[in-house]
């Protein structure tokens, strides 16, 4: 890459790196819901004054709706953010029956997540309909816009870079590159609008409404689009602008492509940020270099075989280190995201990665054949080989597009890393009676080996120095005998039961037998929902 | 016919067994304002272990308690203040026995024994209701607590370790 190591290029690189590292939005994963108040499935005697949702990381709410027992909806607009908890005011006195608190929030990785919690006033009634089926039209539109954006960024910006720094006097492929750039310039704002629609859970028809765009502008995806537009603009400038600026603006545009990927998305949101952000940056820039060079190179070989030799020589010299960077960053990011090999098969994210790997295998094979068997004779002027090389490059472009399509599909699949974080979240309940109250959390909150932690207080929030606490978990509908385990006191004010095994997921009844004095036992109980994974 | 008889018999046996498994009083009802001889029946140890101590908490309204000593067991009483004062034979009582402990004994799981005390049931105890005497049964380091009192409208049979109780009858 000695081609753009001039002082100005270095300055641009440093500025870009600083911009990427200073990018707002430290995120960990898709936010996962940790607790709700009222708890899911709770039966309350009175209408609550407020609701609260606690997540595994800070979120910003997009849509909060209460579905009444008759199916009518009430938009909840008054809420406060308190660290990872969203506190929502209840504007009306709820009538008896089952209500659904439906929520849709955006986590810091820019992806919206949604869900709902059921609770009842007085007694449960038939649950009103609140489920939302995925909007496949919208998903297809998001996927297509993402694919076009990738094409614009990698084929367009990468192509402009290849033309400016590798192609020498060859001018073939300019129209192709310009078309890709224009495609990207359209796809970028459309993607942003679709992100807003997805955030609100609104249909495609509402694309032009201000609320959609306002929502979109509040997500971290806006940074992706902004940096993307800068990259596309710089690439156009290098294509059509003054010759003196060509190399500089093309280099800056390529670095911006790295920044686009690092600005949002699963991989750049993963921990540790100091590692993943630069890796994503390098990965993106390397893709643009490789993918972008293919079309201009292929077209040049077809139209101006003689002039294309210099282009081919420069490309084949630079491509090896680029592919090494691409593969190395890709492998490290995949390991961070997938964590365990089994997740490759068991999760949608892992299966997409496998598909991408298969496509990559084809691509690398073709590229290796091109590099080591075709390049030398083609450079020597063998026209037959040049034609074969050209065809092979054409196939490479198609595979590259297929890989972009697979990568765009990741938009809809949380990575195993995020799933693991969600699975490790505890389930917590609060039990409150006149005699005593308790906070019980079971970590992780799914079936299998868990630990339970309890904080016991008197009914009026006073300290309760219990002599003994026993946790009894029962699931009468399962035929499993109640699990009765004495808790021990580790000395930090809590009571703990370790090495507890919950054999089945579902709704368990948790009872705490609190020995207040020698002859007085208080038993409090509440249902607790154990996840399946 | 035979089937019904068998079923009834089985139910009877099962029912008795369930009752036998708990610590109970021999006399299950008594009029308020009378003297009551409480005989606590201890049918077994704690999950197979020999009983080494039996402690009874005396509820409010049960006054002038006198436990019967038992050979091989150390008898202790704990006294305390009543919540209010009671009149008994022209005397005003404000303090008295709140807990009776028989300890240091050894009653193997295979054997049965009884622990006895005598007491006066205050005349103002609510007739028609149950009066419960929470009992802690100790077997070395194991403990069974017969201290559960049913909540209003709760069935006593639903409790795992119910406290023994008596039904209060109207004053004679």
Residues in chain A with CB shorter than 8 Å from the CB of B134 are: 519-520
Contact A453, A377 (CB under 8 A): no
In angstroms, rounded to a whole number, what is the distance separating the alpha carbons of residues A363 and A397? 9
CB atoms within 10 A of CB A207: 16
Chain A: give the shortest CA distance to residue B73, in Å: 21
- Tell me which residue in B55, B57, B145 faces A521 most closely, judged by beta carbons: B145
CB–CB of B57 and A518 under 8 A? yes
User: Is residue A342 within 8 Å of residue A419, measured between CB atoms?
Assistant: no
Mutate to test the interface with B, among A484, A518, A519, A524 (most CBs of B within 10 A): A519
Residue A389 to residue A300: CA distance in whole angstroms: 11
- What residues contact residue A435 under an 8 Å CB cut-off, 6+ apart? A458, A459, A516, A522, A524
- The residues of chain A scoring below 70 in pLDDT are 1-32, 108-111, 126-134, 266, 268, 533
Phi, psi for residue A409 in degrees, rounded to 5: -70, -25
pLDDT at residue number A419: 77
Q: Which residues contact A166 (CB under 8 A, 6 or more apart)?
A: A3, A293, A311, A314, A315, A318
Helix (H) or strand (E) holding A489: none
pTM of the full predicted structure? 0.62
Dihedral of the alpha carbons of B105, B108, B109, B114, in degrees to the nearest 10:
-50
pLDDT digits (tens, 9 = 90+) for B29-56: 999 999 999 999 999 998 889 999 999 9
Nearest CA in chain B to A522: B148
| CA dist., res. A515 & res. A495, Å (int) | 13
pLDDT of residue A510: 92
Predicted complex ipTM: 0.76
Q: Please tell me if residue B70 touches chain A, with a CB cutoff of 8 Å.
A: no
Cβ-defined contact of A519 to B148 (cutoff 8 Å)? no
Integer angstrom CA distances of residue A350 from A5, A280, A398: 37, 18, 23
Tokens 């300055």 locate to A11
Phi and psi, residue A284, nearest 5°: -65, -45
pLDDT of residue A71: 72
Q: What percent of chain A has pLDDT over 90?
A: 27
Does residue B96 belong to the interface with chain A, where contact is any CB pair within 8 Å?
Answer: no
Nearest chain B Cα to A517, which residue? B147
Q: Which residues of A make CB contacts under 8 Å with B?
A: 515, 518-521, 523
The CA distance from B7 to B154, in Å, is 27
Cβ within 8 Å, pair A521-B57: no
Q: How far apart are CA B65 and CA B115, in angstroms?
A: 13
Which residues in chain B are closer than 8 Å to A523, comparing Cβ atoms? 148
The Cα of B149 is separated from the nearest Cα of chain A by a number of Å equal to 9
Given this model, what pLDDT does residue B94 score?
93
Which value, to the nearest 10 degrees, does the dihedral of the CA atoms of residues A216, A222, A225, A230 take? 140
DSSP code of B129?
S
Sign of the Cα pseudo-torsion (A94, A95, A96, A100, in order): negative
Q: Which of chain A's residues have a Cβ under 8 Å away from the Cβ of B136?
A: 518-519
SS3 A438: strand
For chain B positions 122-151, those within 8 Å of chain A (CB to CB) are 134, 136, 145, 147-148
**Which pLDDT score, from 0 to 100, does residue A482 have?**
83
Q: Phi and psi dihedrals of A500, rounded to 5?
A: -90, 140
Tokens of A532: 């399946």
DSSP state of B22: S
Q: What does the DSSP assignment read for A356-393?
A: HHHHHHHHHHHHHHIIIIIHHHHHHT-HHHHHHHHHHH
> Residue A288 is encoded by which pair of tokens?
């643009």
Instruction: Name the residue of chain A whose CA is nearest to B56's CA.
Output: A519
CB-CB under 8 Å, A519 with B57: yes
pLDDT tens digits for range B129-155: 999 999 999 999 888 999 988 887 777
Return the ∠ at Cα A383 (arms to A379 and A386), rounded to 5°.
60
């Amino acid at each position: 890459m000695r081609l753009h190591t001039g002082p100005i290029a270095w300055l641009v690189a440093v500025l870009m790196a600083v911009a990427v590292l200073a990018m707002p939005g430290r995120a960990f994963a898709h936010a996962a819901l940790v607790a709700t108040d009222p708890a899911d499935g709770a039966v309350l005697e009175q209408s609550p004054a407020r609701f609260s949702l606690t997540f595994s990381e800070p979120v910003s709410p997009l849509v909060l709706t209460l579905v009444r027992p008759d199916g009518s909806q009430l938009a909840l607009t008054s809420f406060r953010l308190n660290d990872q908890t969203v506190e929502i005011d209840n504007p009306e006195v709820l009538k008896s029956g089952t209500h659904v608190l439906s929520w849709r929030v955006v986590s810091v990785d820019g992806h919206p997540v949604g869900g709902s919690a059921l609770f009842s006033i007085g007694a449960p009634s038939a649950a009103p309909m609140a489920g939302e089926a995925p909007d496949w039209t919208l998903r297809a539109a998001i996927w297509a816009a993402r694919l076009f954006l990738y094409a614009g960024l990698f084929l367009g910006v990468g192509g402009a870079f290849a033309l400016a720094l590798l192609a020498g006097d060859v001018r073939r492929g300019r129209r192709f590159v310009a078309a890709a750039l224009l495609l990207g310039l359209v796809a970028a704002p459309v993607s942003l609008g679709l992100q807003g629609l997805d955030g609100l859970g609104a249909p495609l028809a509402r694309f032009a409404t201000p609320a959609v765009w306002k929502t979109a502008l509040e997500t971290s995806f806006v940074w992706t689009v902004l940096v993307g537009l800068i990259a596309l603009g710089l690439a156009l400038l290098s294509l059509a602008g003054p010759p003196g600026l060509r190399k500089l603006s093309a280099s800056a545009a390529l670095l911006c492509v790295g920044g686009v990927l690092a600005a949002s998305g699963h991989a750049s949101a993963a921990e540790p940020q100091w590692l993943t952000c630069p890796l994503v940056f390098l990965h993106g820039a390397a893709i643009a270099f490789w993918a972008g060079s293919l079309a201009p190179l292929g077209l040049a070989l077809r139209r101006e075989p003689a002039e294309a030799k210099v282009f081919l020589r420069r490309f084949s010299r630079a491509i090896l280190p680029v592919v090494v960077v691409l593969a190395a960053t890709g492998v490290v990011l995949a390991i961070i995201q997938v964590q365990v090999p089994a997740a490759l098969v068991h999760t949608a994210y892992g299966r997409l990665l496998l598909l991408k790997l298969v496509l990559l295998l084809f691509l690398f094979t073709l590229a290796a054949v091109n590099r080591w068997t075709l390049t030398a004779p083609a450079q020597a002027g063998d026209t037959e080989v040049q034609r074969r090389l050209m065809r092979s490059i054409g196939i490479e472009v198609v595979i590259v597009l297929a890989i972009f399509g697979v990568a765009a599909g990741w938009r809809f699949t949380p990575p195993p890393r995020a799933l693991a974080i969600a699975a490790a979240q505890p389930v917590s309940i609060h039990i409150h009676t006149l005699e005593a109250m308790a906070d019980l959390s079971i970590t992780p909150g799914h079936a299998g080996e868990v630990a339970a932690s309890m904080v016991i207080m008197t009914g009026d929030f006073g300290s309760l120095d219990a002599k003994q606490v026993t946790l009894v978990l029962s699931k009468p509908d399962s035929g499993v005998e109640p699990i009765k385990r004495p808790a021990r006191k580790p000395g930090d004010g809590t009571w703990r039961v370790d090495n507890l095994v919950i054999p089945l997921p579902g709704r368990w009844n948790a009872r705490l037998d609190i020995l207040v004095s020698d002859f007085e036992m208080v038993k409090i109980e509440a249902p607790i929902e154990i996840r399946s994974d | 016919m035979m089937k019904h008889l068998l079923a009834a018999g089985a139910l009877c046996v099962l029912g008795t067994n369930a009752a036998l498994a708990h610590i109970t009083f021999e006399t299950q009802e008594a009029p308020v304002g009378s003297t009551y001889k409480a005989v606590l029946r201890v049918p077994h140890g704690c999950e197979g272990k020999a009983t080494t101590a039996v402690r009874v908490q005396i509820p409010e309204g049960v006054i002038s308690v006198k436990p019967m000593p038992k050979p091989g067991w150390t008898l202790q009483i704990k006294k305390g203040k009543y919540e209010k004062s009671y009149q008994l034979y022209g005397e005003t009582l404000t303090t008295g026995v709140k807990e009776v402990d028989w300890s240091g004994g050894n009653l193997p799981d295979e054997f049965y024994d009884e622990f006895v005390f005598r007491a006066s049931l205050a005349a103002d105890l609510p007739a028609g209701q149950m009066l419960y005497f929470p009992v802690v049964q100790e077997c070395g380091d194991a403990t069974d607590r017969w201290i559960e009192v049913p909540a209003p409208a709760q069935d006593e049979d639903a409790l795992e370790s119910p406290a023994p109780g008596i039904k209060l009858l109207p004053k004679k």
